[in-house]
Amino acid sequence: MVKLKIHTKYEGAWSNADELLLCLDTGSWRAERPMVDEEKCNYCGLCILYCPTQCMTNMEHHFVPNLDFCKGCGICARECPREAISMVAEGNFRDEEEI
Amino acid sequence: MIVKKKKLPKVFDYFQDEDAFAGGISICSGCPMELLLRFMSKVLGKDIIIVGTPSCSAIVLYGQNIGSWHKLAYYGCLMTGVASSATGISRYYRKIGKDVTVVCFTGDGCAADVGFQPLSGAAERNENFIYICYDNEGYMNTGVQRSSTTPFGAKTSTTPIGVARRGNETTGKNLPFIMAMHKVSYAATATLSHLEDLAKKLIKAKEKKNEGFAYIHVFSPCPTGWGFPMDLSIEVCRMAVRTNYFPLWEAERGKFRLTRKIKKPRPLKDLVRMIRKFSHLTDEEMGMLEKEVHERYKLIEGMTRMMPLEENP
Amino acid sequence: MKRKYKGEVRTITGNAAAAYGAMLCRPDVVALYPITPQTEVVEQLSRFSADGLLDAEMVEVEGENTAMNIAAAATISGGRVFTASSSWGLAFMYDALLQTAGFRAPVVMVNVNREMPGILAVSTGQQDMIGTRDAGWIQIIAEDCQEILDLVIMAYRLAEDFDIQVPVMVNYDGFYLSYLSEGVNIPAREEVDVFLAPLKEQPERPKLVPGGPLGCGTHGIEKGFVELRYKHCAAMERAKKKFDEIDRLFGESFGRSYGGQIEEYRMEDAEIALVASGSAAGTVKTVIDSKRKQGLKIGLVKLRMFRPFPSERLSRVFRGKKAIGVIDRSVCFGWNCGPIYMELRALSPEIGLIPIMSFIDGLANMDISIVHIERMIDSVYAASQGKPYQRVTWVVLEE
């Protein structure tokens, strides 16, 4: 009788968020990146409210997207009443990790 | 010199907890349903039990082996079992005397089609849980098939446009109204452009679930399935409200109230021309869609006059 | 006004016995939906609740699918549940049955055997139990009203055991046992509490709590899925010995023991044997007694546990016998024989190549009568003497 190695902890179909909280690298999905003009921003908060991934970070008098998770959907740029956000193609940037 | 606003919008006052979901989750870019999930977990807090179903949200709500995409307690079941499982959980906690908020989170395919019988049964028995249906008017996760809330004339993969048949042939179910007619303790419509309205309704549903069934129908357009650019998601929601395609109302035990009365509704064309699934409509087909939208609005407006819900003093 | 309740002997129907069994085990949530021949179970439970004897959440559902989903979800949250159904209702809750077993939710339900639809029948038959044999549930069968009550209590002890955690279905013949009134010894509630108390001393199974990190219903990805399936099968294997042990412990607590996975009736020196299950076993025992007086060495194996199939004990009891006749109250489509016969034949390498005969009888409430059984015994005896025999006999059609 072959002795089998069983790794699952539970008998049933349980998951445990404390043991493993999954996270996807959705920042790599982007084709365009939101750029925030600090001068134009009036800190109204609509971009942080409407961002589907809730990745807009509060920098005390303006907001910047968390590029790890920003999917580049452009809703923040569309909803900004001051047109302070513009979507710029990813090709224009070179991240520090490359090279 | 730009004057910086002193405070964040009032909606932030409604947030009870941090976002319980992981930063990066596998939902289409610009999907309003992702905003709804995160918003709901912030407003309702982390002490909820969320009951999910195979759908676009199942990718995120259900774990993968031992891992999970969020920190909430969830119960992943079949489409036919959502309202029933929530009944089982809420009845058990009621028996042991513990107050628990159970939230069902399903799409329109489950709520209006295959899971409708248990939903209707649970609503009739006035069970104590919240049922949130995000309506993207089709079975989006499996590739944009028609469901019974798909509007007249819409192009889906099971109602394609061809010489013999053109788009969806029925006007679809008016699901939120059907649920309100079960005389449940709370039924409401909401959408992702009017977030303060949505937050108030979520909180009210959480209170009202102690008296009985609470149902919220959220209009959640699908950029992938309907054919519009992903940055217009919130704008489509807004336009749906402004054209009275999706009126915002709430009902308690069969008494109705509009939470957002549009004084000068825009023509339906303003919404339809934004969305590619309607781009093939002839004038006659457009006329039929307009008639249906108009009748639905008249119905709600009539109910608010005949069976009005008084404002809280 | 609460009625004072003590252990006693009462004349009650099989359905009422099932309801008493459930009531004594103190379920937290009970899902009620009527279907002939089970309706009296839910009616009796509702009366218990109205009389203050059953302190549970009674949910009058709108369909059996709902009933099973409620049972699974309430159990996963940590509670104890009960529900009852029959043929069509069992078919309607099929997706929920699979889910309950996959979640390893220790639900206990009662299935009152009735013919499955396709041919409308308001009559007994075991087709509904056969139709759900691959759902992953433990299935046990009762012979009389006393056994129904006892099996329901034993079912909770078996299902909720930390080593097992598999849902249990108690089957009994509709119309024969459901509406039959017999004298039943109803234990006192305190005695049942003591019998189920060891469950509380075991480690706690995982539960769904608000704010907790655990979530139920995860995707099984590759090896994760395979391991869960393997664990499920392994737990069902463990259930065999556990059921024998629980039967023995039940005998010690209540004075009634039934033999565990199978009951061996006069099998020690038997040369030929019959296999039966459910209420028919009672009639078979009567015929065997009379045949024994005539000098025939015959015995009966009553199948009490159908899933998991008691392979080891059946192989042991039949080794060295000369011929076996299996009475089936159902059919196995695609094999043109009875299902229990088909499963027993799979044990031929262990039993030895002896004549095993399938008798399909008792469908649609047609009695498995003394005359039928005598004819079956004659055929089995002839086969054991080396005469040519028929593999499958549709007993009713050969009258």
**Given this model, what pLDDT does residue C283 score?**
95
Q: Is the pLDDT of residue C6 over 60?
A: no
Which of C62, C213, C219 minimises the CB distance to B117?
C62
Q: How confident is the model at residue A1 (pLDDT cuts 50, 70, 90)?
A: confident
Residue C121 and residue C180 in contact, taking contact as beta carbons nearer than 8 Å: no
Question: Percentage of residues in chain B with pLDDT exceeding 70?
Answer: 99
For the domain that residue C47 is a member of, what is the CATH number? 3.40.50.970
Q: How confident is the model at residue A95 (pLDDT cuts 50, 70, 90)?
A: low
CA–CA gap between residue C176 and residue C365 (Å, rounded): 8
Total count of domains within chain C: 2
Among C333, C310, C321, C312, smallest CA distance to C357 is for C321
CA B150 → CA B36, B143, B154, B174, C376, distances in Å?
A: 20, 14, 7, 10, 62
Residue C14 and residue C145 in contact, taking contact as beta carbons nearer than 8 Å: yes
Residues B49-58 as b or e (16 or more Cβ within 10 Å = b)? bbbbbbbbbb
The tally of CA atoms less than 13 A away on the side-chain side of residue B79 is 16
Residues A55-68 as b or e (16 or more Cβ within 10 Å = b)? bbeeeeebbbbeee
Residue C209 lies inside a defined structural domain of this protein: no
Domain parsing of chain B, residue ranges = 10-306
Burial class (CB in 10 A: 0-12, 13-18, 19+), C251: middle
Residue C175 lies inside a defined structural domain of this protein: yes
Q: What is the pTM of this model?
A: 0.93
For the domain that residue C276 is a member of, what is the CATH number? 3.40.50.920
CA–CA gap between residue A24 and residue C319 (Å, rounded): 59
Among B216, B197, B278, smallest CA distance to B245 is for B278
Residue pLDDT, tens place only, B112-171? 999 999 999 999 999 999 999 999 999 999 999 999 999 999 999 999 999 999 999 999
Supply B52's token pair. 């999910």
User: Is the domain of C101 the same as that of C57?
Assistant: yes
Question: Mean pLDDT over residues B15-31, rounded?
Answer: 91
Q: Is the pLDDT of residue A9 over 90?
A: no
**Given this model, what pLDDT does residue C381 score?**
96
Q: How confident is the model at residue C1 (pLDDT cuts 50, 70, 90)?
A: very low
CA–CA gap between residue B62 and residue C103 (Å, rounded): 14
**Given this model, what pLDDT does residue A42 score?**
86
The tally of CA atoms less than 13 A away on the side-chain side of residue B236 is 23
ipTM: 0.92
Residue of C nearest to A18 (CA): C213
Q: How confident is the model at residue B274 (pLDDT cuts 50, 70, 90)?
A: very high
CATH topology of domain B10-306: Rossmann fold (3.40.50)
Return the SS3 of C5. coil
Residue B230 touches partner A, C-beta closer than 8 Å: yes
**Given this model, what pLDDT does residue C83 score?**
96
Q: Is the pLDDT of residue B313 over 50?
A: no
Mutation target vs A (from C75, C202, C231, C236; most A CBs, 10 A cutoff):
C231
Residue C109 and residue C89 in contact, taking contact as beta carbons nearer than 8 Å: no
Q: How confident is the model at residue A99 (pLDDT cuts 50, 70, 90)?
A: very low
CA–CA gap between residue C85 and residue C103 (Å, rounded): 20
Domain parsing of chain A, residue ranges = 26-92
Which of A15, A19, A43 minimises the CB distance to B4?
A43
Residue B13 touches partner A, C-beta closer than 8 Å: no
Q: Which amino acid is at A47?
A: C
Residue pLDDT, tens place only, C168-213? 999 999 999 999 999 999 999 999 999 999 999 999 999 999 988 9
DSSP state of C350: H
What residue has token string 């459901």? C178
Q: C-alpha angle with apex B262: B258 to B264, nearest 5 degrees?
A: 155
Residue C1 lies inside a defined structural domain of this protein: no
Residue-range definition of the domain harbouring residue C247: 8-202+216-254
Residue C93 and residue B117 in contact, taking contact as beta carbons nearer than 8 Å: no
Residue C131 and residue C116 in contact, taking contact as beta carbons nearer than 8 Å: yes
Residue B239 and residue B200 in contact, taking contact as beta carbons nearer than 8 Å: no
Positive or negative, the CA dihedral C274, C276, C280, C285 is positive
Q: How many other CB atoms are there within 10 angstroms of residue B163's CB atom?
A: 5
User: Is the domain of C313 the same as that of C347?
Assistant: yes
Contacts of B197 (CB under 8 A, 6+ apart): B190, B248, B259, B260
What residue has token string 């019998």? C195
Q: How many other CB atoms are there within 10 angstroms of residue A93's CB atom?
A: 12
Contacts of C119 (CB under 8 A, 6+ apart): none
Across chain A, what does the average pLDDT equal?
88
Please report the DSSP string for A80-98 in residue order. Answer: -TT--EEEEEGGG---TT-
User: Is the domain of C177 the same as that of C46?
Assistant: yes
CA–CA gap between residue B219 and residue C287 (Å, rounded): 70
Return the SS3 of A63. strand
User: Is the domain of C250 the same as that of C272?
Assistant: no
Q: How confident is the model at residue A96 (pLDDT cuts 50, 70, 90)?
A: low
Contact C65 B95 (CB under 8 A): no
Residue of B nearest to C69 (CA): B85
User: Is the domain of C52 the same as that of C188?
Assistant: yes
Residue pLDDT, tens place only, C63-119? 999 999 999 999 999 999 999 999 999 999 999 999 999 999 999 999 999 998 888
User: Is the domain of C37 the same as that of C100?
Assistant: yes
State the nearest Cα–Cα gap between B282 and chain A, in angstroms.
Answer: 30
Residue of B nearest to A56 (CA): B23
**Given this model, what pLDDT does residue A98 score?**
53
Phi and psi dihedrals of A33, rounded to 5? -120, 135
| CATH number at A26-92 | 3.30.70.20
Residue C207 lies inside a defined structural domain of this protein: no
Residue pLDDT, tens place only, C368-386? 999 999 999 999 999 999 9
Across chain B, what does the average pLDDT equal?
93
State the nearest Cα–Cα gap between B257 and chain A, in angstroms.
Answer: 26
Residue pLDDT, tens place only, C210-238? 988 999 999 999 999 999 999 999 999 99
Residue C152 lies inside a defined structural domain of this protein: yes
**End-to-end CA, chain C:** 57
Which residues 294-313 in chain B show a CB within 8 A of chain C? none
User: Is the domain of C95 the same as that of C114?
Assistant: yes
Contact C230 A7 (CB under 8 A): no
Supply C67's token pair. 């009933």
CA–CA gap between residue A53 and residue A26 (Å, rounded): 10
User: Is the domain of C342 the same as that of C194?
Assistant: no
Residue pLDDT, tens place only, C350-364? 999 999 999 999 999
Contact C218 A4 (CB under 8 A): no
